[in-house]
């Protein structure tokens, strides 16, 4: 693998910077060209596995002479951008598409893959939630649903790589799959980790904050200290990849959120007043910016049903 940087020519007063990130040498000498000016970023992580970011939840991918795997699809425009880059390697169709869960910023690009793959894999609850959400929103015609589902765990072989999916219980939703590229030792966590960004906690789709904390423990215990993780989302200035310390930090956020919610309820603080006065969760001050209201709504809802 080589890292090269190119600066393209100026055309019509517009300068586009192109770079070759770390890329996997496959059946040709072709490389991914990631145009910075196009607002998307495609990076290699390890052993032919990488990530793609533009709009929506982080996409994971594997591209090698043995096959192509894609994890999550953002939106149609973004999926087309991803495939444009992968197609430069002339590897053919996608062997496996995985949805980590049902939310639109992870599945709305599925239709782009309708004629490019025979297998879309997700947890059974993810498929159920996607169907229910589409019916509620009237967007059934815009959906391509998973063709295959699993309940607890499943492993698919693509070339020499084994892609294992695990479900550890209700957390961000009740259908969150964790995707492990075993040989590369890279894990896509979906939205089970929001790296220094306030999370969306989908109570309507079976989310459970208390159990989410346990799911993160199971994740840490299942993989190892050499695992590189991808997160569904990251706050400004933070990476969409990381390690166990980032999982622990987000786990701490959820623990402090539950503690704060319980203390606020015991003090009879109305939810609307709490949302007006709360900018950070005490003990988890790295989480800043917009979106804390969603966490407060969710923790009050969870505590109310206990």
The answer to whether 65 and 105 have CB atoms below 8 angstroms apart is no
Q: What confidence score (pLDDT) does residue 13 get?
A: 21
The tens place of each residue's pLDDT in the chain, 306 residues long, gives 222 222 222 222 222 222 223 343 333 333 444 554 568 999 999 999 999 999 999 999 999 988 999 999 999 999 999 999 999 999 999 999 999 999 999 999 999 999 999 999 999 999 999 999 999 999 999 999 999 999 999 999 999 999 999 999 999 999 999 999 999 999 999 999 999 999 999 999 999 999 999 999 999 999 999 999 999 999 999 999 999 999 999 999 999 999 999 999 999 999 999 999 999 999 999 999 999 999 999 999 999 987
Element (H, E) at 270: none
> What are the phi and psi torsion angles at 44 (to 5°)?
-75, 140
Element (H, E) at 238: none
Structure tokens at 302: 């969870």
The CA dihedral of 274, 279, 283, 286, to the nearest 10 degrees, is 150
Q: What confidence score (pLDDT) does residue 6 get?
A: 21
Q: What confidence score (pLDDT) does residue 43 get?
A: 95
The answer to whether 148 and 198 have CB atoms below 8 angstroms apart is no
Instruction: Note the pTM of the prediction, 2 decimals.
Output: 0.89
Q: What confidence score (pLDDT) does residue 107 get?
A: 98
Q: How many CB atoms lie within 10 A of CB 157?
A: 13
Q: What confidence score (pLDDT) does residue 3 get?
A: 25
Residue ranges in the chain assigned as alpha helix (H): 76-87, 104-107, 124-137, 209-222, 244-266, 271-277, 292-304
Q: What confidence score (pLDDT) does residue 16 get?
A: 21
Q: Which residues contact 41 (CB under 8 A, 6 or more apart)?
A: 34, 52, 53, 54
Q: What confidence score (pLDDT) does residue 288 get?
A: 96
Q: What confidence score (pLDDT) does residue 273 get?
A: 98
**Residue 157 in 3-state DSSP?**
strand
Q: What confidence score (pLDDT) does residue 18 get?
A: 25
Domains present along the chain, CATH in parentheses: 4-304 (3.60.15.10)
Q: What confidence score (pLDDT) does residue 35 get?
A: 52
- β-bridge pairing 67-71 and 59-64: antiparallel
């Amino acid at each position: 693998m080589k890292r090269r940087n190119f600066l393209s020519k100026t055309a019509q007063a517009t300068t586009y910077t192109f770079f070759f990130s770390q890329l996997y040498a496959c059946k040709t000498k072709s490389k991914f060209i990631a145009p910075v000016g196009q607002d998307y970023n495609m990076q290699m992580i390890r052993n032919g596995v990488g990530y793609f970011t533009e709009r929506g939840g982080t996409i994971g991918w594997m591209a090698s002479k043995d096959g192509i795997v894609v994890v999550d699809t953002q939106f149609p425009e973004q999926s087309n951008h991803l495939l444009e880059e992968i197609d430069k390697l002339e590897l053919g169709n996608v062997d496996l598409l995985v949805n980590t869960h049902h939310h639109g910023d992870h599945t709305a690009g599925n239709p782009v893959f309708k004629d490019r793959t025979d297998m879309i894999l997700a947890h059974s609850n993810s498929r159920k939630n996607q169907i229910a959400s589409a019916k509620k929103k009237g967007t059934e015609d815009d959906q391509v649903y998973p063709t295959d589902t699993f309940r607890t765990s499943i492993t698919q072989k693509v070339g020499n790589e084994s892609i294992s999916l695990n479900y550890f219980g209700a957390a961000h939703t009740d259908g969150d799959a964790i995707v492990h590229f075993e040989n590369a030792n890279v894990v896509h966590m979906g939205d089970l980790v929001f790296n220094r960004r306030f999370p969306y906690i989908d109570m309507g789709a079976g989310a459970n904050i208390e159990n989410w904390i346990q799911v993160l423990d199971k994740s840490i215990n299942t993989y190892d200290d050499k695992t590189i993780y991808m997160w569904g989302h990251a706050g400004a200035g933070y990476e969409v990849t990381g390690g166990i310390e980032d999982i622990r930090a987000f786990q701490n956020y959820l623990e402090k959120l539950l503690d704060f919610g319980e203390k606020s309820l015991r003090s009879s603080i109305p939810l609307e007043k709490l949302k007006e006065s709360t900018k950070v969760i005490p003990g988890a001050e790295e989480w800043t910016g917009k979106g804390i209201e969603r966490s407060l709504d969710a923790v009050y809802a969870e505590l109310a049903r206990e």
